[in-house]
Amino acid sequence: MTLSIAHLGPPGTYAEQAALLYLNWLATSTGVEAILCPYPSIAQSLRAVAKGEVQVAVVPVENSIEGSVTMTLDTLWQLDSLQIQLALVMPIAHTLISCAQRLEDIKTVYSHPQALAQCQVWLERFLPTVQLIPTNSTTEALLQLEQDLTVAAISSQRAAQLYNLPVIASGINDYPENCTRFWVINQGHIPVSRPTTLERASHTSLAFSVPANIPGALVKPLQVLARLGINLSKIESRPTKRSLGEYLFFIDIEADASEPQVQSALAEISPFTEILKIFGSYKVLPINTHNRVVSG
Amino acid sequence: MTLSIAHLGPPGTYAEQAALLYLNWLATSTGVEAILCPYPSIAQSLRAVAKGEVQVAVVPVENSIEGSVTMTLDTLWQLDSLQIQLALVMPIAHTLISCAQRLEDIKTVYSHPQALAQCQVWLERFLPTVQLIPTNSTTEALLQLEQDLTVAAISSQRAAQLYNLPVIASGINDYPENCTRFWVINQGHIPVSRPTTLERASHTSLAFSVPANIPGALVKPLQVLARLGINLSKIESRPTKRSLGEYLFFIDIEADASEPQVQSALAEISPFTEILKIFGSYKVLPINTHNRVVSG
């Protein structure tokens, strides 16, 4: 059986790069073969899994500079049947791609808003007068380059190679430690093999809504986790979309949901929440700086 | 003296509409005259205040559907000298603007990513095959309409009137309760008049970083607030941009920072934080559904 993996396309995006890492790791560690299926948005790649068009989606969750990818969190909350199987953290290095002869000739820079934001300081220093134009993906920005020598795009080194386009500047992200966390997501009832050497999951992700207008409503669930010694690695609020000031909270804890104290914590938290969803327990696939999965 | 007010431009954006509400309220309640100064980004309107180019900026903080405007939070954290003077909550109603004769003729829709996201369901239902293209502001999207009858933009009713463009559909936002909260921000040492009938501020906004890798580091400050009966109306995590998994927390509390129990809370919270910044105490200007400030 060949596994199909949805990701934000077209080919050349960072999401495709993460999907490829997962595909290669799968082939090496389990012998399962897979193909990549690009989708025009993150929401559509997750919906493709929910509808059974593909078995797996690889989606960005969080960038170290720009924060949560809210489209991923909101869609995961809406689609009931999905579960996180694995996480991977990938270093991000942006390159400026253009057919221009010199930096001074560039008048317009296209890229995904997150990539533009991650290169703000570099752009203000070296291209202070250019117009910045957002695109739906870093790869889509490359479509603007054809035959226009005053246009540049911010994308990955890999995308430049893939489309045979000249790199003008490399590593232009403002923070060198730039990296993005991705989740590998499938339908909950289909088990996907985990890294074999590490049976117990290191992280569990969940989300809950709390009753509106109750002082300290969020504190109670957090107190339960703190008292039971369960470390929180992430907390993010998202609007319920009903009315301003009503939130959902997305929480990552550093434990497996099958551990007894996590089970107790969830049972204790539940009465303080309106809706509580567990998105799964998973391991983080170790990736080295050369963008390869460390053997394991 | 004439006050200058920075906002995200060009004219016709929702930020300009909020700035106009503030300008009108200022003229009516204090007799102070003001002019509007459009800037190409939210960050640039805030920096204009920090540099003293303008006295005030009106910036979006949070939308009821799409959540926090992270550009505002991140810039406020970076610029030390700014203080929030006032908040206002404005209803948002999106319209589809186009020179096309019929919906079926539309092939491309331009708008700010937040506006595209807020009309997702409507777009999927009525324009399922169109290409969605992001722009830097809802007004910029209107520039795409010229002479192309297959193009539409999502913007406000007011922008359609301002640029004399035809409205194809009104109220196309997926959630009718769509509204955006704005902050009026100036340099901390310049007092700006508050609504005269309401002397005590209703909200205080602050942000802090906590030491990394300490379990329950966030819980301690929240426990202090809960124990002292101070209600939290918002919590938002943002990356420190140093490394993945290190966060700042932006918190809104429903109290004036000059109240004794808030003073105690801040003193108690401070040792648990690395950096603690208070962005000011302020009132919320009441706006009715006709987008007018309710007298007060």
> CB-CB: which of B65, B133, B242 is closest to A239?
B65
Q: CB–CB of B59/B26 below 8 Å?
A: no
Nearest CA to CA, how far is A244 from chain B (Å)? 5
Which residue has better confidence, B230 or B185?
B185
| Contact of B252 with B259, CB cutoff 8 Å | no
> Chain B contact for A144, CB < 8 A?
no
Using an 8 Å Cβ cutoff, are A152 and A108 in contact? yes
What distance lies between CA B98 and its chain's CA centroid? 27
Question: Measured between CB atoms, does A238 come within 8 Å of chain B?
Answer: yes
Q: What residues of A are in contact with residue B233 (Cβ under 8 Å)?
A: 245
Residue B283: enclosing H or E segment and its boundaries?
strand B275-285
Question: Over 60: is that where the pLDDT of A267 sits?
Answer: yes
Distance CA B221, CA B144 (A): 48
Cα angle vertex A234, ends B47, A68, to 5°?
Answer: 50
Q: Can you list the positions of beta strands (E) in A92-218?
A: 94-98, 108-111, 131-134, 151-156, 167-169, 179-187, 203-209
Main-chain dihedrals φ then ψ at residue B91, nearest 5 degrees: -65, 145
Task: Find chain A residues with C-beta within 8 A of B223's C-beta.
Answer: 219, 223
Confidence check: pLDDT of B194 > 90: no
Confidence of residue A213 (pLDDT cuts 50, 70, 90): low
Most distant CA pair in chain A, distance: 63
- Complex ipTM value: 0.82
What's the pLDDT at B230?
87
CB contact under 8 A, A230 and B242: no
Residue A196's pLDDT band (cuts 50, 70, 90): very low
Q: Would you call B244 and A132 a contact, using CB atoms and an 8 Å cutoff?
A: no
CA distance A288 to A256: 24
Would you call A133 and B132 a contact, using CB atoms and an 8 Å cutoff?
no
Residues 6+ apart with CB under 8 A from A212: A243, A245, A246
- Are A208 and A276 a contacting pair, CB within 8 Å? yes
DSSP assigned state of B193: P
| Chain A contact present for B237, CB below 8 A | yes
pLDDT average, residue stretch B46-70: 94
Name the average pLDDT for chain B.
Answer: 89
Directed axis angle between helix A42-50 and helix A70-78, to 10°?
20
pLDDT, greater one: B155 or A40: B155
Quick one: pLDDT band at residue B245, thresholds 50, 70, 90?
Answer: confident
Check B135 against A132: CB less than 8 A apart: no
Burial class (CB in 10 A: 0-12, 13-18, 19+), A49: buried
Task: Tell if the pTM clears 0.90, that is, is over it.
Answer: no
CB proximity under 8 Å: A 158-177 to B: 175, 177
The CA distances from residue B178 to B86, B94, B107, B126, B235, in Å, are 20, 9, 26, 20, 20
pLDDT, position B275: 94
Q: Of B49, B42, B277, B279, which Cα lies nearest the Cα of B180?
A: B42
Residues from chain A contacting residue B71 (CB–CB below 8 Å): 117
Q: How far is the CA of A72 from the CAs of A61, B67, B68, B73, in angstroms?
A: 6, 14, 15, 21
pLDDT in tens, A53-97: 999 999 999 999 889 999 999 999 999 889 999 999 999 999 999
Determine which helix (DSSP H) or strand (DSSP E) holds B17, and give its type and residue range.
helix B14-30
pLDDT band at B244 (very low <50, low <70, confident <90, very high): confident
Note the pLDDT of residue B289: 61
Distance of CA B227 to the CA centre of its chain: 30
